[in-house]
Structure 1
């Protein structure tokens, strides 16, 4: 399996690590959905079923134009059901503004829900008027109440059928059923009334329009007849039919002539440049393909071969040689003459093509002028003819529609039946508490998990070995837990707490260093970090102690001559150190005894004004060569890579560089820049150490490792 593949456990790790965020978001969304669900007033739905069909076409209408199923027709009916006109009929049919509608409900316990609705509508109407204005009139009240009813109506078709449900939701179940039934009845009445009004208005308008169109038709026919006689339209029609064909033929010939002219023009341009230059001329295909020229070229070749054969037998002044050379010269002159003839022939053909194109273009212009003259006459004729035809068609259509409407004016265009009346509902339909709560659970979990992954995506700091190795391409040599004990130092944890988890972290790092190659640990190791406060000094000190305790002779150098700390860690004097030696001093007092056997220290010495120049001197290389003879391993603590150039300067003097990064602080971008800076100078990189790794309960993989091996998680402890 590809090591780059993301596994399910990686997703589970992110969710577990961010579980507090997931739970918080989930509870927030779920509680909001629950409060909204239980705070809503229960709504009851009354539903009426109606059958809607288009009327069958009669004998006058076209059978092919009739469609039994018409989506636009049904959508129109749905909008009509929810229209204000139908809702106004409902208000008036039920007399919702009358005194009876405002009485208390059936059991007499209080005002009906309808009364509350009307009061709300009246309040809204009153708030839109000025304080000094007169109260809203009953018509405005009816419109406002109709709009309120229309908003709560819903019309839904049954799939694969012509049945439609008209539903109305209300806190009062009786009122919901009444409105649904009244809407279906009002819809049927409104449809019939629209049909009767439309038919009556249509007949009146078409009768008046037919009389006007009859007059227009007569006038148009008279004008067209006069124009035909005046312009001899019958004779011109034949000429107009022939002219486009002639124009098309000339256009085709002109296109071909233009293409031929361009082809000859290109060829003539080539041969004209080659005139006088035989070597270039014979390379042009149009010249080289000439049969006579090909024959001459073959004879010239034979003559040249003959001269070459004779040159081996006779001298240049021999009569045979002179004759052969003379024959060759004659052949070349003939070849040049033939080339000149071919060029002249190409020129003539080009000029002929130009002349032919110009003649065809002139003929095209004459034919176009003739066609335009004919078209101008027929444009007016066509306009007159179209006007006559349009007037005739309109008049005929009007007469047909008048007869048709007279016969079918009582025919209903829509067949409507109430299939099932609404009954009083027993249970509310909204809110759907189980559905809403389930939706709250799903949305809450998805939002929480999504936010957790988004936060994880934004976190680009170094944390775990697997993702670090994958991102940077370096092996992780060891992990060091976060030190939170402010009262004690981590630098000497191997001496003060040898059985702690932290001591084991550095022993594990020691093992990784010793096994880093087949030959064992590198002899010279540079310890650095991308930035400050990553824990490189702490790592250098503890690794030196761990290696010394393993029996290795170790010397620890403080190569950080800008902010040295090793002399403070081990309580040593810093009067004489590395800076003194590199500046030209003697090395007699350079080595100091470390806190354990086999460990020697070289402090940084006084802070110099030019640390980079001292570290790049030849004395630094000689010092390392001398120490390598007396010690098994040389460790050097150096400044951060991305801050100053000291570490990059001396990194090539060491067998390997160990990069210390701080978990949840050092970003992959910083670490990548540090690795690139070492790779650019071909400095050997030993690996990485992840320092200050805080093992939370969500880090189950590493938590399991530490708990199973050490018995408990490290105590809360800050890391220098």
Structure 2
């Protein structure tokens, strides 16, 4: 059951620690800051005074500004400006002008104009000597007598700078002091110069503005002159090219005997068209004649009668006439044959007429067939003749076209060269006529005036910022120191972190010897200390009122926390009420014998356990209580304390005394306290205020709780009451606080 209780206590401690880590106590932070308010205010005051001295030592800087209006499109005087790209629109153009205002060439113009190389603010030869001569200090040290001849940005020691170096330095310095400030979305821009000399700053700003305009005019003039020279040289080349083109055109005309190419081409084209039409008719006629000729050739083997049946022959008028006469003769023969006999003279005459008609028809058919053949031959010859004429005309036209194309090419070359020559001649006349006309794309709107107030340093702002930063730094340092000081400073902090009640606190006793601290309660020199011991005694007695704690172990985390002082003085306090035995169980660093000046070799606890001395020899009676010192320091203290003889000795002492108080070694040094806690009915843990780190205390208490040590309470030792009260740590409610107040009043 007791083990479960201790486990629950440890869980509560861990939970309370986690909650404390997760939460930020703003009130505590404010109290920490408020308690160190005078330190913070002192830091702020000191920093403010230093800042005031610093700003008054800074050379004031004045700013002069001249306002320019930069037009995006300058008035076009000569069209050649298009070649040089003077036309500009948009933000890119204005940004280009701003960069020109900050250019080195413009700064060099101002340096020359105002002769800034001799001005004290710029001339490196007139600069004041530095307060600390770093080079001289380095020369006093012997670094094998090797000192760098130059430092970055410095001129060689002992060598006077040249005029070019001075001019370069002054120009760079001036460029760093120039700033360009556009005025909103307008075409206005402020040219600003910062100098310690207000009058010179105004002169420099005006010189920059006027120099910018003059440089624009000079650039325009230079471009016009360059354009004129270039156009003169180009015009000569164009004149030569035009003359060559005209000569080639004339030579071609003369070589080809060309007078009117358009007229010749027109006549040739008409002839070609007419010949083509005639050739079409001849081809048609030849086709018709060929058709008739083919029919004649097909019928020629069948006699003249078959030839007479050909449509071309049959349709001939003479053939039709002869056929009619033959038919008439044949009809007469047929008529007479029915009337007369075959030998009738009339029949002979009729047959003679029929034979004559047939012969005539045959002769005529042969003539018509021969005519068809001749007509075909003539048609074919006519077609071939027209085809040859057409091809001849076509070749002539193609030749004329080639000459025409070549002629047109030469004419175009002449016209192009003449147009380009005329254009350059016109531009040259315009440029020459307007080359001395001033035209700039900027003008001065407001001249810079001598500034009356400096722009920097802003003394009040600098001092305010310095004071504010000092305040922040002071607050930060205060919180940092408080965070780094991870110690117990108040009883509330002890109880909240460890979940163990605080039996009392003991005030800080300064400049006292060990022997004096051991007898503080008995001599009652300090009322607050005595009252604090009584408070602790009361807590001890009340905590064991039903079951008195006969064996009490008093320990701490590390040496020097005052556990021995608490043990001795608490023993004296309890000795006024009970029979008390105080045992010095710190066998490694014993203090009891030294505090009460026991003789060297006095037997003690080690001798008792080892059996080299009796209990009566070990016990010493001092101011109403009995004491057992550590005795001879053994080589194995832990084995002695863990031995059955020590347990038996404790049982014997418990029967003789009402209260046995054991001064134990610290928990973080050795394991003796854990062993001693197994014999105790109560354990008091001593913590040195504002000194022992919380993790050490938590580790020591945790080790004891893990071994079921009966921790009865905590004593917060060596509390600086004045300091604690100053920083807001209240110990009200404890008799020690009232005892301290009463002691002050006494």
What is the CA distance between 1:469 and its match in structure 2?
A: 4.8
Aligned to 1:666: 692
For 2:74 and 2:656, how far apart are their aligned partners in 1?
112
Aligned to 2:198: 173
User: Is residue 556 of structure 1 aligned with residue 582 of structure 2?
Assistant: yes
Q: 1:482 to 1:93 in 2, by over 3 A?
A: same
CA contact (8 A) 1:55 1:413 kept: no
- Please give the residue correspondences for 1:340-351 in structure 2 after superposition, counting only pairs within 5 Å: none
Aligned to 1:507: 534
Q: 1:613 to 1:152 in 2, by over 3 A?
A: same
- Please give the residue correspondences for 1:278-289 in structure 2 after superposition, counting only pairs within 5 Å: none
For residues 535-556 of structure 1, give each alpha carbon's deviation from its aligned partner in whole angstroms, at most 9, with x where no partner exists.
111010112222334x344332
Aligned to 1:30: 48
Correspondent of 2:470 among 440, 444, 459: 444
Q: Aligned with 1:701: secondary structure? A: coil
Q: 1:515 to 1:12 in 2, by over 3 A?
A: farther
CA contact (8 A) 1:54 1:414 kept: no
Aligned to 2:29: 11
Aligned to 2:557: 530
For residues 71-129 of structure 1, give each alpha carbon's deviation from its aligned partner in whole angstroms, at most 9, with x where no partner exists.
x66555444322211212323444657xxxx7xxxxxxxxxxx4564474799999847
What is the CA distance between 1:635 and its match in structure 2?
A: 1.7
Q: 1:697 to 1:552 in 2, by over 3 A?
A: same
For residues 325-344 of structure 1, give each alpha carbon's deviation from its aligned partner in whole angstroms, at most 9, with x where no partner exists.
xxxxxxxxxxxxxxxxxxxx
- Please give the residue correspondences for 1:358-397 in structure 2 after superposition, counting only pairs within 5 Å: none
For residues 201-220 of structure 1, give each alpha carbon's deviation from its aligned partner in whole angstroms, at most 9, with x where no partner exists.
89989x99xx9xxxxxxxxx
What is the CA distance between 1:8 and its match in structure 2?
A: 4.1
For 2:738 and 2:459, how far apart are their aligned partners in 1?
47
Q: 1:122 to 1:461 in 2, by over 3 A?
A: closer
Aligned to 1:491: 518
For 2:446 and 2:506, how far apart are their aligned partners in 1?
77
What is the CA distance between 1:489 and its match in structure 2?
A: 0.9
- Please give the residue correspondences for 1:56-455 in structure 2 after superposition, counting only pairs within 5 Å: 70=91, 76-94=96-114, 114=119, 117-118=122-123, 120=125, 128=155, 136-137=162-163, 142-158=167-183, 163-191=188-216, 416-455=442-481
Deviates more, 1:117-126 or 1:167-176: 117-126
TM-score (normalised: structure 2): 0.55
Q: 1:155 to 1:652 in 2, by over 3 A?
A: farther
> Unmatched 5+ residue regions in structure 2?
1-15, 130-149, 238-419
Q: 1:610 to 1:199 in 2, by over 3 A?
A: farther
For residues 592-611 of structure 1, give each alpha carbon's deviation from its aligned partner in whole angstroms, at most 9, with x where no partner exists.
54524xx4433334433432
For 2:189 and 2:489, how far apart are their aligned partners in 1?
62
Aligned to 1:253: none
CA contact (8 A) 2:205 2:448 kept: yes
CA contact (8 A) 1:22 1:451 kept: no
User: Is residue 654 of structure 1 aligned with residue 680 of structure 2?
Assistant: yes
Aligned to 1:45: 63
Deviates more, 1:195-204 or 1:700-709: 195-204
Q: 1:23 to 1:132 in 2, by over 3 A?
A: closer
CA contact (8 A) 2:553 2:662 kept: yes
Q: Aligned with 2:503: secondary structure? A: strand
Q: Aligned with 2:675: secondary structure? A: helix
CA contact (8 A) 1:462 1:664 kept: yes
Aligned to 1:235: none
For 2:207 and 2:102, how far apart are their aligned partners in 1?
12
What is the CA distance between 1:631 and its match in structure 2?
A: 4.5
Larger Rg: 2
Q: 1:678 to 1:190 in 2, by over 3 A?
A: farther
Q: 1:693 to 1:67 in 2, by over 3 A?
A: farther
CA contact (8 A) 2:527 2:743 kept: no
CA contact (8 A) 1:121 1:141 kept: no
CA contact (8 A) 2:552 2:683 kept: yes
User: Is residue 621 of structure 1 aligned with residue 647 of structure 2?
Assistant: yes
What is the CA distance between 1:645 and its match in structure 2?
A: 2.7
For residues 39-68 of structure 1, give each alpha carbon's deviation from its aligned partner in whole angstroms, at most 9, with x where no partner exists.
12223221223345644999x99xxxx998
CA contact (8 A) 2:520 2:526 kept: no
For 1:50 and 1:708, how far apart are their aligned partners in 2?
81
For 2:158 and 2:525, how far apart are their aligned partners in 1?
88
For 1:3 and 1:414, how far apart are their aligned partners in 2?
75
For residues 368-404 of structure 1, give each alpha carbon's deviation from its aligned partner in whole angstroms, at most 9, with x where no partner exists.
xxxxxxxxxxxxxxxxxxxxxxxxxxxxxxx9xx99x
Aligned to 2:361: none
CA contact (8 A) 1:41 1:171 kept: yes
What is the CA distance between 1:658 and its match in structure 2?
A: 2.2
